[in-house]
Amino acid sequence: MTLHVLPVTGLPEIDADSDLPALIAKAGSYQDGDILVVTSKIVSKAEGRVLRAADREAAIDAETVRLIARRGPIRIVENRNGLVMAAAGVDASNTAPGTVLLLPEDPDASARALRARLQQLTGVRLAVVVTDTFGRPWRNGLTDVAIGAAGLPALEDHRGRTDSHGNELAMTVTATADELAAAADLVKGKATGTPVAVVRGLGHLVTAEDGEGGRALVRPAADDMFRLGTSEAIRQAVTLRRTIRAFTPEPVDPGAVRRAVAAAVTAPAPHHTTPWRFVLLESAEVRTRLLDAMLAAWQRDLRELDGWDDALIARRTARGDVLRDAPYLVVPCLVMDGSHDYPDARRAAAEREMFTVAIGAAVQNLLVTLAGEGYGTAWVSSTMFCRDTVRAALDLPAGWDPMGAVAVGRPAEPPRDRPARGAEAFIEVR
């Protein structure tokens, strides 16, 4: 197979009054099965997507639906078409001073319209790819990618095929339209005024139907492991950390819990100590034994110390059902190893408070990390009211103080919306 990538030269400056398909048809000579690769800039100009804007940032704001990552003035965002890119594709290059260029409103629709008219004008079977320039995670440098397509499959699915050694391919899906975009850019360039190229020799890719277009290249949110930048992911995990009281029966991945514990033990602690221990209750038998022992201890105390009747006790202890219904429990424990001995009660109490703050920070790290892993959690304080019972049921050392229990599992339903909580009500400035 011989492949040719040919520039289409001689196109004039494009504006909203230009008949772009006619100009492209006139500028080149096309054969059946050619693939035309067209930079989005001239498509945007022909569609009137030039905006007079002294403030490019305001234009980016208007085109952005979600911030992915920010570092200084640089923003990676998701735009209206689901494309994740720098500055929402708002471009101040190759346009008149004082203006910015927006991406086509619907790049696939633009590709379909351009293809239909070009086939009419040229009388040959064509495909069209509309491109823009992207940066890429983990890689330096920019490359052109497809943001719209018509007349060819944007993706080629190799799954189920075998390689030259007879191995079945299980994951390989080729981004054909992106490969065409990058190849065409080798002859278009960035500053040569050549916005169109022809890829010839791949006529077998050209279809009678327009196809699903470049939209097929946008990874669904549920499959995107790199949907947020680091600081944004942390903020979202903190926001998503909600108390979940109903879980699915799906087992919890012990590796995810261990990763959460690894994050927990990075919390600050006094005197360079490590005052945390995390008891992971992975056995249903152990969970039941602990909860049964705790229930008996609570019932006894509420009856003997508080004088409650059976109905009131039943309502109070029912709050612990969230622990019984969860597929996984974590019991964080405070240890005072490395604490200072003070002879007076005031300083001794402050010493313990320091250690208590440290385990609170560790538990928060645990909860936030589990939220980032897609798990729901509920921190319940009940083990703190019957520590001897918990130590006996779990065979823990005398110096380990249980500090509640954390229920872990996949949420059975999304948490209810709650109003945003700003910081100002909780701040005093001196």
Confidence band of 55 (pLDDT split at 50, 70, 90): confident
Same domain, 10 and 156: yes
Q: How far apart are CA 147 and CA 39, in angstroms?
A: 10
Look at residue 247 and tell me whether its pLDDT is greater than 90.
yes
β partners of residue 156: 174
Our count of domains for the chain comes to 2
Look at residue 226 and tell me whether its pLDDT is greater than 90.
no
Q: Is residue 328 part of a domain?
A: yes
Same domain, 193 and 235: no
DSSP 3-state of 230: helix
We report the CATH number of the domain holding residue 399 as 3.40.109.10
Query: Comparing 418 with 151, which gets the higher pLDDT?
Result: 151
Domain end call among 206, 223, 240: 223
Q: How far apart are CA 359 and CA 273, in angstroms?
A: 11
Same domain, 350 and 212: no
For the chain, the average pLDDT equals 90
Per-residue pLDDT at 273: 95
Domain end call among 191, 223, 255: 223
The model's pTM: 0.66
Per-residue pLDDT at 261: 97
**Phi, psi dihedral angles at 180 (to 5 degrees):** -65, -40
Same domain, 237 and 214: no
Structure token digits, residue 270: 């006094």
Q: How far apart are CA 86 and CA 3, in angstroms?
A: 32
Q: How far is CA 271 from the centre of its chain?
A: 37
Per-residue pLDDT at 304: 87
Same domain, 158 and 300: no
We report the CATH number of the domain holding residue 15 as 3.30.1330.100
Query: Residue 315: which domain range?
Result: 230-426
Domain end call among 175, 203, 223: 223
Same domain, 212 and 257: no
Q: Is residue 61 part of a domain?
A: no
Q: In terms of C-beta density within 10 A (0-12 exposed, 13-18 middle, 19 or more buried), how is residue 161 classed?
A: exposed
Same domain, 219 and 254: no
Q: Is residue 162 part of a domain?
A: yes
Candidate ranges 75-79, 155-159, 329-333; pick with highest mean pLDDT:
329-333
Q: Which of 264-268, 304-308, 390-394 has the lowest mean pLDDT?
A: 304-308
Per-residue pLDDT at 170: 66
Q: How far apart are CA 170 and CA 272, in angstroms?
A: 48
Q: Is residue 257 part of a domain?
A: yes
Same domain, 341 and 402: yes
Q: Is residue 14 part of a domain?
A: yes
Percent of the chain with pLDDT over 90: 65
Q: Is residue 75 part of a domain?
A: no
